[in-house]
Amino acid sequence: MFIKKKNNIDLNNIPQHIAIIMDGNGRWAKKRGLSRSVGHREGSKTLKKIVEACYELGVKYLTVYAFSTENWSRPKEEVDELMKLLLEYLRNAEQELKGKNVRIRVIGEKTGLTDEIISEIERVENNTSHIEGLDFIIALNYGGRQEIVRAVTDLVEDVKAGRETVIDENTIRQRLYTRDIPDPDLLIRTSGEIRLSNFLIWQSSYSELYFCDVLWPDFTKNHLLEAIRSYQGRQRRFGGVIC
């Protein structure tokens, strides 16, 4: 098979789904004597660049961890700034992505979000639902354990009501937020931390993991390419044996 390459990347072996834990905004700001809010705003700028880079590379799905169910425990000022940034991003995303085939989805619990944010989520999801190209998925007020509990609870209720008779991996998967999205091929975490922090814990069972020391605001397309090169140098066995 002909191998088409760019930047030493095999364009025939681009991960279909990349997931990113965007970590390090606060530490980036602290190193510069700035407020954490400034770090989050810089991180938002980085996100826009990485979405465009994934689109250019032909990635089909990009899921980012924007706000976890545990993040509510942060200082109110920081949470308010994060929500403000998310609202701005949703309002402006279509204009900034104009000319690109990008569908926007948001996964996570709506409980705790303002009516304004919920309305904006519904608007941008409806307006981009017909687009085929890159599916950009924002995990907002999301927790992996909470997602599984929610899915199992729904399944048990269906069994009790006689709507379902089998409990297995597939019936649970069909009740996850990502029911129609393939599992991540590559999961990236920035900032040097080496853990999943309750992100896509069901879906990442066989994902290739890539951890880098770069703080999220400093993460560039070149860092993304390095993660993809690492992915392309691995053999994915899914529990089997490659001879």
Catalytic: 71? yes
Separation of alpha carbons 143 and 26, rounded Å = 20
pLDDT, position 1 = 43
Contacts of 223 (CB under 8 A, 6+ apart): 190, 212, 214
172 in a structural domain: no
- Please calculate the CA angle 52-55-57 and round it to the nearest 5 degrees: 110
Can you read off the two tokens belonging to residue 67? Answer: 């706000």
Contacts of 55 (CB under 8 A, 6+ apart): 100, 101, 102, 133, 134
Each residue's pLDDT tens digit, 163-216: 988 889 999 999 999 999 999 999 999 999 999 999 999 999 999 999 999 999
Query: Which CATH number belongs to the domain containing residue 131 in this structure?
Result: 3.40.1180.10
Distances (CA, A) of 19 to 61, 68, 122, 203: 8, 14, 22, 10
Domain count, the chain: 1
28 in a structural domain: yes
220 in a structural domain: yes
User: Percent of the chain scored above 90 by pLDDT?
Assistant: 88
98 in a structural domain: yes
Can you read off the two tokens belonging to residue 29? Answer: 């700001």
Three-state secondary-structure class, residue 136:
strand
List 10, 71, 158, 198, catalytic entry: 71
Can you read off the two tokens belonging to residue 144? Answer: 């992996």
pLDDT, position 169 = 94
Residue 53: which domain range?
11-143+184-232
Phi, psi of 175 (to 5 degrees): -110, 5
199 in a structural domain: yes
Position 220, amino acid: T
239 in a structural domain: no
Beta carbons of 9 and 54 less than 8 angstroms apart:
no
132 in a structural domain: yes
Separation of alpha carbons 3 and 10, rounded Å = 6
The owner of tokens 């090169």 is 229
pLDDT, position 2 = 47
pLDDT in tens, the chain (243 residues): 445 666 789 999 999 999 999 999 999 999 999 999 999 999 999 999 999 999 999 999 999 999 999 999 999 999 999 999 999 999 998 888 888 999 999 999 999 999 999 999 999 999 999 999 999 999 999 999 999 999 999 999 999 999 988 889 999 999 999 999 999 999 999 999 999 999 999 999 999 999 999 999 999 999 999 999 999 999 877 666 555
Separation of alpha carbons 130 and 79, rounded Å = 32
Beta-ladder partners of 20: 64, 188
Separation of alpha carbons 136 and 232, rounded Å = 22
Beta carbons of 175 and 153 less than 8 angstroms apart:
no
67 in a structural domain: yes
219 burial via Cβ count (<10 Å: 0-12, 13-18, 19+) = buried
Separation of alpha carbons 62 and 54, rounded Å = 7
The owner of tokens 């364009």 is 11
